[in-house]
Structure 1
Amino acid sequence: MTQPRRLRTPRPLGRAAGVVLAGGSGTRVGAGINKAFLPLAGRSIAGWGLNTLAAVEGIGILVFVVRPDDLEHARFVDSRETEHPLEIITGGETRQESELLALRHLADRIDTGAVDTVLIHDAARPLVSHGLVSAVLHAARETGGAVPGIPARDIAAAGPGQTLAPSTDLRRDSLVRVQTPQGFHAATILDAYEAAARDGFVGTDTASCAEEYTDITVTWVRGEETNFKITYAQDLLLAQDVVSALGLRTG
């Protein structure tokens, strides 16, 4: 990571906030640092998603949520890899706590209407496209909540023991593999997370908390196969291949 310091430009006007979560580790990737800060074709894994969200019209704020031990890495990303300033905060012990802290960080601006929509994205999904982020933002503003999803036609139902259940037991056309960013009406999702904190409810992702504590019918837009999550070393190798194949640039 030896990029020269970038010229900073003012954030574009926009009432949506992008939140990028980088609370993972590098254990399963086989790295000694948080995988979000591993290099991928000229910038960190986290830097890819941050720059994509920053380029989407309508997103005016970027919040980068990291572990306390990763603050130095995050400041490097902010100063050397992103074209627009980041608001860096430390997260909690769980994903949901980190999301809540990000929403509380935005609470004053949500209350005044300066932020009307929040998109929450995993830093470990570096190759999310500009078009997909835009589609989620548009759908979230239209319906109150939206997520990207890939039809899960490769899923089978487990039967007794180690058998597979008959295919009639599972409607594959009704299942999707959910990705990020997940977008929601800001005031509604903030209230939902505060209620979940009071109740001790822990969801699997942002959408599960919305489904539990709001009346929003979460919609889904078509996700992208390239918007995969980097979990293992082979995922990082695949991401490098995708960057090369698609001719993606770091700046």
Structure 2
Amino acid sequence: MNQSSDTDRSGQPECFSRHGGGHKATPGVHFTVSVVLPAGGTGERTGLVTPKQFCTFLNRPLISYTIQAFERLSWIQHIVVVVAEESSALMRDIVQRFQHTKVRVVSGGATRHRSIFNGVQALDTGESGATPDVVIIHDAVRPFVEEDFLLEIAMAAKENGASGAIRPLVSTVIATSSEGYLDHSLERGKYRASEMPQGFLYHVIYQAYQKCSEFDFDFGTECLHLALQHAGTKAKLIEGPPTLWKVTYKRDLAAVESIIKETLCGSACVTFDGSERSRDLGRCLQKVMGSFDMEVDVLPELIGDASCLSREWNFIQLCVNGSGLSEVEETVKSLQAANRALLHPVVVVWVRLDTSDGMSVSETGAGPLLLMELASAAKLHNILLYGIHFLLSEEDTGFSDGSVKRLAELTYTLIHDRNAVLAGQMLHA
């Protein structure tokens, strides 16, 4: 069923890791669960030529983020992605490039329900007992679904036959007359918006689709209603978190990128060259960047520590006077070897603390050129390398709050924005 080889990706951050990567098997899930992701939409409401599920964020398409939200969970068995026939080759390329190992790509139908049924049928391999106990159906353009809520949906589906996410209505629903006048309004407190994900016992959703009419296939929009109408199964409704929102309009694309960046800049590792000044600067950065809600660890070195490279970290390397680029180069090579930047860019910030009164290597020598060459090579592997020159007079015995704050703000901005254009630049704090 897999479209790509099971390449080791243990070095990925936990929030985007391969199945199991940091997540223990969930107690209580003693049944099989698979997922159907309908992804055949054209994205007309975004006004873009590219369907929104294939729009890229940090060099990675949206559909890949949604897949990873499920694939990282040990209790999810298979994921069927249903796409338009003309997008099949593109989707298989995405699966291979980002090493999604639980995914099968199938072609969709002319309507959403025909596509979902194709996905449900694809989970039946014809082998006895091979179908999953529970099927979760989810929109390909809802990438931020959380494990706790998925677990609620799966457990409720196993117990009740069907389950679905709901959210409170934010606007009053009104009915209009044929002439365009207000006819009546609904009492908002009695109604909820139906959302995804939705869960079903396999035989319930399969039976519902088998009994669907052509009208259901062409005009139906609600899987839960089909389960009620054709399988007699009442769904358990569970209020979901705000993160279930769906990418619908062009403005939503900017929100997706912002959320992804916020997720990726939550932690960093500061390493220093063993000197007392770089160690003290690292501790000052740890304190200030902590006020930005970034968790910062300070270590004397990184090279050779595989566990450090696998952590959900960005990397800040401090050195005094000497170039320190050889250590940075070793870090970059280690990140490449660990395949750490497969799913998103990893940031490495080289901070050169300069205590000389004259012109420094970072200003006039080979430092900037070597940094740019190293950054250009690193960028090919999705690693973004930046340099910061932090000048301190030899007479200064400590670091002023203002100077450390400027350095921390610049470093945080580089980690948050992940601007590829600035990679290789020597900035000044």
Q: Please tell me whether Structure 1 or Structure 2 has the larger radius of gyration of its CA atoms.
A: 2
> Does 1:146 find its partner at 2:163?
yes
Name the counterpart of 1:35. 52
Name the counterpart of 1:105. 122
TM alignment of 1:193-208, pairs within 5 A: 193-197=209-213, 200-202=215-217, 203-208=220-225
CA-CA distance at 1:232 after TM superposition: 1.4
TM alignment of 1:5-84, pairs within 5 A: 7-8=7-8, 15-84=32-101
Give SS of 1:180's match: strand
CA contact (8 A) 1:111 1:187 kept: no
Q: Which amino acid aligns with 1:68?
A: E
TM alignment of 1:100-249, pairs within 5 A: 100-108=117-125, 112=129, 114-158=131-175, 161-163=180-182, 165=184, 170-197=186-213, 200-202=215-217, 203-247=220-264
Q: CA RMSD, aligned part only? A: 2.7
The TM-score normalised by the length of structure 2 is 0.51
Give SS of 1:128's match: coil
CA-CA distance at 1:246 after TM superposition: 4.5
CA-CA distance at 1:117 after TM superposition: 0.7
The TM-score normalised by the length of structure 1 is 0.85
CA contact (8 A) 1:156 1:164 kept: no
Give SS of 1:126's match: coil
Name the CA shift for 1:42/1:201 in 2 (closer, same or farther; >3 Å): same
Name the counterpart of 2:28. none
Name the CA shift for 1:113/1:7 in 2 (closer, same or farther; >3 Å): closer
> Does 1:92 find its partner at 2:109?
yes
Deviations along 1:134-189, whole A, 9 cap, x unmatched? 22111111211111110115224346544474xxx633222111111211000111
CA-CA distance at 1:30 after TM superposition: 2.8
CA-CA distance at 1:112 after TM superposition: 2.0
Give SS of 2:208's match: helix
CA-CA distance at 1:76 after TM superposition: 2.1
CA-CA distance at 1:82 after TM superposition: 4.6
Deviations along 1:179-235, whole A, 9 cap, x unmatched? 1121100011101101105x6423212112112111211111121222211121111
CA-CA distance at 1:42 after TM superposition: 4.3
Name the CA shift for 1:196/1:159 in 2 (closer, same or farther; >3 Å): closer
Listed as ranges, the gaps of 5+ residues in structure 1 are none
Instruction: Identify which range, 238-247 or 118-127, moves more after superposition.
Output: 238-247
Whole-angstrom CA distance in 2 between matches of 1:86 and 1:110 = 19
Instruction: Identify which range, 221-230 or 7-16, moves more after superposition.
Output: 7-16
CA contact (8 A) 1:148 1:181 kept: yes
Whole-angstrom CA distance in 2 between matches of 1:108 and 1:200 = 28
CA-CA distance at 1:120 after TM superposition: 0.9
Name the CA shift for 1:24/1:65 in 2 (closer, same or farther; >3 Å): same
Name the CA shift for 1:137/1:70 in 2 (closer, same or farther; >3 Å): same
Name the CA shift for 1:236/1:132 in 2 (closer, same or farther; >3 Å): same
Whole-angstrom CA distance in 2 between matches of 1:195 and 1:17 = 22
Whole-angstrom CA distance in 2 between matches of 1:105 and 1:220 = 26
Give SS of 2:199's match: strand
Name the CA shift for 1:187/1:26 in 2 (closer, same or farther; >3 Å): same
CA-CA distance at 1:109 after TM superposition: 5.7
Listed as ranges, the gaps of 5+ residues in structure 2 are 10-17, 26-30, 266-311, 313-342, 345-429
Among all aligned residue pairs of Structure 1 and Structure 2, give the percentage whose two residues are the same amino acid. 23
Name the CA shift for 1:130/1:11 in 2 (closer, same or farther; >3 Å): closer
CA contact (8 A) 2:80 2:103 kept: yes
Whole-angstrom CA distance in 1 between matches of 2:222 and 2:47 = 25
CA-CA distance at 1:84 after TM superposition: 2.3
Whole-angstrom CA distance in 2 between matches of 1:238 and 1:54 = 23
Instruction: Identify which range, 88-97 or 132-141, moves more after superposition.
Output: 132-141
Q: Which amino acid aligns with 2:193?
A: R
